[in-house]
Amino acid sequence: MSLKDLKQRIVTELPISAVVGDYIPVTKKGNTALAVCPFHDDHKPSMNVTDSRGRYKCFACEAGGNAIDFVINYKNLDFIEALKEICTNHGINFDDYNQQKAKPPKVLMAEKILTKSSQLYQRIAESGHFEEYTKFIKNRGLTVEVAKTYNLGYAPKDSKLTAYLNSIPNEKERNFALTIATELGLIRIDKNDSKSHYDTFRDRIIFPIWDQYGQVVGYTSRAVFDYQKAKYMNSLESFIFKKKHILYGLHLAKSSIRSKDAVVLVEGNMDQIALFNKGFTNSVGIQGIAMGDSSVVKLKALTKNIYLALDNDNAGWNAALRINKQFLDVGITPKFIDLAPHKDPDDFLQEEGSVELQKRIDNAKAFIDVQVDRVIPNKVPELLDAQLEILNEVFAVLAPLKDSLSATERAAQAAKTIGLKSEASQIISNYKDFLSGNQAPTNFAPPPMDEPEGLITESFHEEIPYEEMQYLTGELETIEAPALSKIETTFLTEIIKHPECLTSDKIGELLDFVSSNEVQKYITRLKELFYEIDESEFVAIVSNFTKNGTFSSDLKEVIATALKNYRAISHDDKTVSKIIFDIKKKLEITKLTMKKDEIRMRKKSCTTNDEINELMSELLKIEKELIKVKALKHKTPGGK
């Protein structure tokens, strides 16, 4: 039997009055029944519930449908959830109709380990024996209820999870569990004793990460002591955990998203928890730097009102650009929540409060309008050619909307703002010419490189047969990619030479110089690796990771050369800050030098003195900037 059979049974065999009566009073009157409609402000019964037709209908607000539709709309559930609830209420065994193909043993074991480990970490946290956990909850202003809702836990330093797995009586099952836990990155093999293990997460606050159905698939952890090298450590991507397919807190937020018909999208766990803690229960968090298309599909099924509240920095802006484009491609225009002058939603709530955040939400502009505002300078140049260039940049922003009314109206309005005198019809005609010329938008952040697809995290009522899923094999072919620029080569070389920079909050300042999609992806993965390995393992593990990864031959060659010159040296925070300053300075000089070379090349194709003079003026500006950059000196905190 299938879910289709279950739907048919509910619709044809269960009296709809009985299903509706589970939620609201229903008064029988002949062959029909009457009820006060719950979908509008109804004071006298205006909803007819007809068993013979299996339908409900409100003649005031036009709400109507079958029994399943009623439960979906009344309880804000999805189709599967509604079926389950009706089955529970009316003694039907849902599992008889939901025959799934058996999951592979490693998936079943992974889900079991993740569930049990989450319960273990939570019990340890709630024991009251670890002051660090209690302080964290108090300092972040989290209630006990919220901590329980999110199953927040604590991982002590004495490897409790490893001890639990070693306590499994059956040797075969115990060894299998240890193997899977190692593959998930929850425990590690002791390098001095290959038969011994220890926990990956030690002395850390634990944040379980779930799929959309509430199955734990991984963890984020936060350090509690200043001496711990990595402030945050995350689960490695695995056959059960794919970051781009995860929306943190979605299983908690689904009902609220439906009822409020809106979702607030944030970065990371703490921002999502902070919003939930303050009553913004319709929020979810992306994991990492990208959001998979499957996440777009999930949110689109819940609401068409998307609010972007990503971090107020360059990385957050670039992530918003990519996510905005993904939603525009499916016909949704997201809005932008301005968090300035604060860094993220958590900081905003601590400083401004929930009332002010709600004002920002209520006044949120379409993200694409914020993009247009950024393109048009406060002081528009008087030269016509410069104004037309700005208009072309606006066209590039609007291009994902194609030639819709939403796009053409914005194009015409932008032309007025810029100061152009042409009629709206002429502007719209030019915009359509721009689209037909297939000119690509220039102001979107480059999307992260695609990772192998697979909805393995969708662990319940998965529609894709498990045998059809793609698992990572570790051995991947080299891909073709654009040649690395001198800036990117310099950046990679310096990062391999000083990998401790990966743990600094200032690493984003260096990534701003990088336009290569491939390098961005490489550094993100390298950062995760560096948190997980000892310095003595650095060369071997990075060499193997690079060699077997889906990276271009150019990148592999740069890394191989840089690794030959790597020397393991520990640096304190002040030294790391100085190193990052020096690298940033070197990259800035490289960038300006490349601009000089570009101008010299353009000079060769000049045909008039005016063109040459204009280029020489640009060259002079760059020379002055170079002198400034070369003269910069690092200032230590508190220094002059």
Q: Distance (Å, rounded) from C-alpha 424 to C-alpha 438?
A: 22
Is the pLDDT score of 455 beyond 60? no
pLDDT at 207: 96
Tokens of 477: 């072919």
Mean of all residue pLDDT scores within the chain: 85
Q: Distance (Å, rounded) from C-alpha 125 to C-alpha 127?
A: 6
pLDDT at 535: 66
What domains lie within the chain, and their CATH numbers? 3-97 (3.90.580.10), 105-242 (3.90.980.10), 244-370 (3.40.1360.10), 376-436 (no CATH), 473-640 (1.10.860)
Q: Distance (Å, rounded) from C-alpha 136 to C-alpha 119?
A: 19
Within 10 angstroms of residue 235's Cβ, the number of other Cβ atoms is: 24
Q: Distance (Å, rounded) from C-alpha 290 to C-alpha 549?
A: 19
Express each pLDDT in 393-435 by its tens digit.
999 999 999 999 999 999 999 999 999 999 999 999 999 999 8
| Residue type for position 253 | A
pLDDT at 600: 79
**Residue 569 CB contacts under 8 Å (≥ 6 apart), including other chains:** none
Express each pLDDT in 353-371 by its tens digit.
999 999 999 999 999 999 9
DSSP designation for 597: H
Confidence category of residue 475, pLDDT binned at 50, 70, 90: very low
The predicted model scores a pTM of 0.62
pLDDT at 209: 96
Contact (CB, 8 A) for 445 and 313: no
- CA-based nearest residue to 89, from 60, 105, 67, 111: 67
* Residue 278 CB burial class (10 angstroms; 0-12, 13-18, ≥19): buried
Confidence category of residue 566, pLDDT binned at 50, 70, 90: confident
High-pLDDT (> 90) share of the chain, %: 46
Confidence category of residue 640, pLDDT binned at 50, 70, 90: very low
Backbone angles phi, psi at 133, to 5 degrees: -65, -45
Q: Distance (Å, rounded) from C-alpha 560 to C-alpha 539?
A: 9
Express each pLDDT in 158-192 by its tens digit.
999 999 999 999 999 999 999 999 999 999 998 88
What number of helices (H) and strands (E) belong to the chain?
26, 17
Express each pLDDT in 222-253 by its tens digit.
999 988 878 888 888 888 998 888 999 999 99
Confidence category of residue 446, pLDDT binned at 50, 70, 90: very low
Express each pLDDT in 2-53 by its tens digit.
888 899 999 999 999 999 999 999 998 777 899 999 998 888 899 999 988 8
Confidence category of residue 606, pLDDT binned at 50, 70, 90: low
Q: What is the mean pLDDT of residues 336-351?
A: 94
High-pLDDT (> 70) share of the chain, %: 89
Question: Can you spell out the DSSP letters for 246-304?
Answer: -EETHHHHHHHHHHHT-EEEEESHHHHHHHHHTT--SEEEE-TT---HHHHHHHHHH-S
Q: In degrees to the nearest 10, what's the CA dihedral of 481, 485, 487, 493?
A: 60
pLDDT at 133: 95
Bridge partners (DSSP) listed for residue 60:
none
Express each pLDDT in 502-519 by its tens digit.
877 788 788 888 878 788
Confidence category of residue 447, pLDDT binned at 50, 70, 90: very low
Distances (CA, A) of 357 to 270, 345, 346, 351, 504: 16, 8, 11, 10, 29
Confidence category of residue 520, pLDDT binned at 50, 70, 90: confident
pLDDT at 258: 83
Confidence category of residue 467, pLDDT binned at 50, 70, 90: very low
Q: Characterize the bridge pairing of strands 306-308 and 263-267.
A: parallel
Is the pLDDT score of 449 beyond 60? no
Biggest CA–CA distance in the chain, Å, is 95
Bridge partners (DSSP) listed for residue 50:
32, 55
Q: What is the mean pLDDT of residues 65-76?
A: 90
* Residue 441 CB burial class (10 angstroms; 0-12, 13-18, ≥19): middle
pLDDT at 577: 83
Tokens of 283: 């929020």
Tokens of 511: 């990534």
- CA-based nearest residue to 464, from 107, 7, 109: 107
Within 13 A of 582's CA, how many CA atoms are on the CB side?
11
pLDDT at 636: 64
